[in-house]
Structure 1
Amino acid sequence: MAKDLGIHETLELHELLVFKNTCLTKSATLSGMAQDNELKQILAADATASKSEIQQLQGFLS
C-alpha cells in the first residue's frame, strides 16, 4: 500500500502516527495518576482505541 501513496500522503500518515503515539502515552501516563474510577475507564478506553488506530496507520505505511 505504501507504494501507492504520494510523498505528502506518507508524511501526513507519519504525522498522524506520531500524534496517536503521543495520545497513547498521555492516556497511559495519566491513567496511573487518576484517582477517579470513571476517569480511569475513559483513559483506558482511549488507550485501547489509540492502539488500534496506531496499528491501522502502520498497516497503511507497510
Structure 2
Amino acid sequence: MSGKENDDFKLGIHETLELHEVTTQRRSTLLKAHMMDAVVKDPELKRLLRRETQNSEKAIEEIETFLP
C-alpha cells in the first residue's frame, strides 16, 4: 500500500519523523557502501557491499511510499 496512492492513510507526526530518521540512516549506509565499493579489492567484501547497497535502496523505496 502506498501512502501516496491512498489518501485515507495518514501517519502521525512522530511516525513521519521516525521514518525520515530511518531513511536518513539508510541513505548514509548507502553512501558509505558506494564509497567503499570503489576502493575495496576483496571480491567477497565487494559482494557484501553490493548486497547492502541493494538492500538499502529497496528499504528507502519502501519507506518513501509511506511519506507524504
Query: What is the TM-score of this pair, normalised by structure 1?
Result: 0.92
User: Which residues in structure 2 correspond to 1:1-62 (within 5 Å)?
Assistant: 1=3, 4-62=10-68
Larger Rg: 2
Q: Gapped runs of 5+ residues in structure 1?
A: none
The list of structure 1 runs, each at least 4 consecutive aligned residues, that deviate by more than 6 angstroms after superposition, is none
RMSD: 1.3
Q: Gapped runs of 5+ residues in structure 2?
A: none
Query: Greater helix share, 1 or 2?
Result: 1
Query: What is the TM-score of this pair, normalised by structure 2?
Result: 0.85
Q: Percent identity?
A: 35
Number of residues paired by the alignment? Answer: 62
